[in-house]
Copies of this chain bind each other. A is one copy, B any other.
Amino acid sequence: MTFTRRLQTAQRRSESLLCIGLDTDLAKIPPHLRRSRSAFVDFNRRIIDATHDLVCAYKLNLAFYEVLGERSWHALRHTLAAIPPEVITIGDAKRGDIGNSAALYARVLLEDLRFTATTVSPYMGDDAVAPFIARRERGAFILALTSNPGARAFQYLPVRRRPLYEHVVAKAVSWNALHNCGLVVGATHPRELRRIRSMAPGMPILIPGVGAQGGDLESSVRYGCDRHGELAVINVGRSVLYASDGKDFASRARAETLALRDAIRRTRDRML
């Protein structure tokens, strides 16, 4: 089964376009958990247990794990092991390197850690992306238009009357022969998201930046979905993870996830 089809299946089963970003920060988790040596994994496990039937995917930004040093592999493996196999896992690593190094990064993320998909930086071109899309059942989301202020530095530069990110989108479309390529488009750019969706009608789009970064949920759904109301992957992080810092943090995370999922469904149902 292709990655795109796996994502679609996960979205139908959960009736959800939501992805939770497990970007766990030890300084922000509930104080009663913090004392334990396994606090990081315990927290992730509780969040996953409370939310996995309401999401299509979990995204792990590798930076939040690497900062744990020697314990990073333990935290990655145990977090991933807690996620049911039918839920998509995205290794948000944004790697981009020459062919032989890219092949090693792909091996770490897709074979050793067994993420379903990764995020990949496009700047170094074809051979930097190829190892991440070599297997049809594993996917790569190519950074097209990112949610951060720095996106303005290069991504909008005009190339033959079109912004650079549109050239990245066109290239990603050409890389999608195995139906396992997606795009990253920040929720902070609704107008551009609409245009990108029209350029890549059948590709998954990972949409970070809703909430803390100021992106709007409704326009992300409206412009990010394909014509069947699918294949937009709406990432949320802090609003779910830190819904409460009390002993009720997991149930509050579930309530927040449910509210977001249903808000997404209402928007989607209105547009179909």
Interfacial residues, chain A to chain B (CB-CB below 8 A): 23, 61, 63-64, 66-67, 69-70, 72-74, 94-99, 101-102, 104-105, 107-108, 112, 121-129, 143, 146-155, 157-160, 164, 167-168, 171, 213
CB pair B105 A126 closer than 8 Å: no
Q: Which B residues lie within 8 Å of A98 (CB)? A: 146-148, 150, 213
A67 and B108 in contact, given A101-B61, A125-B150 (Cβ under 8 angstroms)? yes
CB pair B164 A159 closer than 8 Å: yes
CB pair A128 B154 closer than 8 Å: no
CB pair B160 A158 closer than 8 Å: yes
A151 to B129, CA, bound (A): 12
A153 to B128, CA, bound (A): 10
CB pair B123 A69 closer than 8 Å: no
Q: Which B residues lie within 8 Å of A102 (CB)? A: 63
CB pair B155 A63 closer than 8 Å: no
CB pair A101 B153 closer than 8 Å: no
Instruction: Name the contact of A121 in the complex, choosing from B66, B101, B121, B168 (C-beta under 8 A).
Output: B121
CB pair B154 A105 closer than 8 Å: no
A151 and B164 in contact, given A97-B61, A101-B64, A105-B66 (Cβ under 8 angstroms)? no
Q: Measured between C-beta atoms, what is the minimum distance from A228 to chain B in Å?
A: 30
A101 and B152 in contact, given A69-B112, A124-B143 (Cβ under 8 angstroms)? no
Instruction: Name the contact of A168 in the complex, choosing from B97, B152, B154, B167 (C-beta under 8 A).
Output: B154
Q: Measured between C-beta atoms, what is the minimum distance from A61 to chain B in Å?
A: 5
A101 to B25, CA, bound (A): 11
Q: Which B residues lie within 8 Å of A127 (CB)? A: 148-150
Q: Which B residues lie within 8 Å of A74 (CB)? A: 70
CB pair B154 A108 closer than 8 Å: no
A122 to B149, CA, bound (A): 13
CB pair A104 B64 closer than 8 Å: yes
A-B contact pairs, 20 of them (CB 8 A): A23-B101, A63-B95, A63-B105, A70-B73, A94-B121, A98-B148, A98-B213, A121-B123, A121-B124, A122-B154, A123-B123, A123-B155, A124-B143, A124-B150, A125-B150, A125-B154, A125-B155, A157-B159, A157-B160, A157-B167
